[in-house]
Amino acid sequence: MEKVFDALIDSFIENKIGISEFFLSKKLSTELSANLHTHFKHGNLTLAGTGTKAKINNSDLVRGDKIYWLDQSHDNKSENVFLGMMDAMVIYLNRTCYTGITDYEFHYTLYEIGTYYKKHIDQFTTNDRRKYSVIVYLNEDWQTEDGGELSLKINHQTVKINPTAGKCVFFKSNEIEHEVLVTHKNRLSITGWLKV
């Protein structure tokens, strides 16, 4: 696992955006995608709110994604494998980068066709515990024309990332302005934050 973490951290240090193409195995990505579909089918997903999140725009419709929080108590095998990976990543980050992370939170995310998430940063205006954003994608056979890119601004340059299965993206929650472009296919991911 440490090799995968190193790749993510190295690209984060170099470019402010850590990217690891094959962070999840195909098996784990497929299982998590199946979990998300099941929760969707059972009506467990709820429309995400913006809460006290720092808003950069004034439009009413900021985001259209639906979410469901991961929890050890679900006793779901692949969900717990994923959370175990996050435990290991936190230990590794704290040991090698002195990040001082003490907690995390993750949710499944589904963007249905035609939805998006406008420009924002991931830190709340009233609470700065979210230090690092982590997103993993669960979309097999994603094509460029399916849209749904994660678009990030770094040093006035725009970087666009396709949400392909197994990929992980990692960046500082209070620094990086980003948006999810309109998706033309249902777009599945797990999104979360490493907290102090």
Minimum distance of Mn ion from residue 41's CB (angstroms)? 26
Across-strand partners of 151? 160, 179
Q: Give the number of other CB atoms < 10 A from CB of residue 114.
A: 10
Look at residue 180 and give the partner it binds from ligand OGA, Mn ion, none, a contact being a CB closer than 5 to 8 Å depending on partner kind.
ligand OGA
Look-up: residue for tokens 């209070």?
A: 174
Q: Collect all residues with Cβ–Cβ distance below 8 Å to 69 and sequence separation of at least 6.
A: 105, 106, 107, 108
**DSSP for 117-133?**
EEEEEEEESS---EEEE
Across the beta sheet with 168-172, the strand order is 18-20, 168-172, 130-137, 187-195, 103-111, 66-69, 46-47
Q: State the binding partner of 115 from Mn ion, ligand OGA, none, CB within 5 to 8 A by kind.
A: none
Which of residues 122, 146, 149, 179 is near Mn ion by CB under 5 A? Answer: 122
Among Mn ion, ligand OGA, none, residue 189 binds (CB under 5-8 Å by kind): ligand OGA
Closest CA to 170 of 95, 85, 113: 85
Pick one of ligand OGA, Mn ion, none as the site partner of residue 150 (Cβ within 5 to 8 A by kind): ligand OGA
Work out what residue 82 binds among ligand OGA, Mn ion, none; the CB cut-off runs from 5 to 8 Å by kind.
none
**Contact by Cβ (8 Å): 138, 37:** no
104 binds ligand OGA (CB under 6 A): no
Minimum distance, C-beta of residue 2 to ligand OGA, in the bound complex (Å) = 25
Q: Which of 6, 58, 68, 18 is nearest to 175 (CA)?
A: 18
Binding flag, residue 24, ligand OGA (CB under 6 A): no
Site string for ligand OGA, 112-151 (x = CB under 6 A): -----x----x------------x--------------x-
Could you identify the residue written with the tokens 């797990």? 190
Residue 179 near Mn ion by CB under 5 A: no
Give the binding site for Mn ion (CB under 5 A). 122
Give the binding site for ligand OGA (CB under 6 A). 109, 117, 122, 135, 150, 163, 178, 180, 189, 191
